[in-house]
Amino acid sequence: MSKNEFEEELLNNPEFANHMISGYCKEIAKHQEQIA
């Protein structure tokens, strides 16, 4: 998937965006736990 396709998917598909955001937040949380 190219960057443009990815951005279009984010704009056109709120569920995809939510999935990406929640996945990103989970990754951040994992790293936070490792640091703490």
DSSP string, the chain: --HHHHHHHHHH-HHHHHHHHHHHHHHHHHHHHHH-
Give the residue numbers spanning the domain of 24.
Answer: 3-35
- Asked if residue 35 has pLDDT above 90, the reply is no
CB–CB of 31/24 below 8 Å?
A: no
pTM of the complete model beyond 0.85:
no
Number of domains observed in the structure of the chain:
1
* pLDDT tens string 2-31: 999 999 998 999 999 999 999 999 999 999
Contact partners, residue 10, CB within 8 Å, separation at least 6: 16, 17, 20
Residue 20 pLDDT: 92
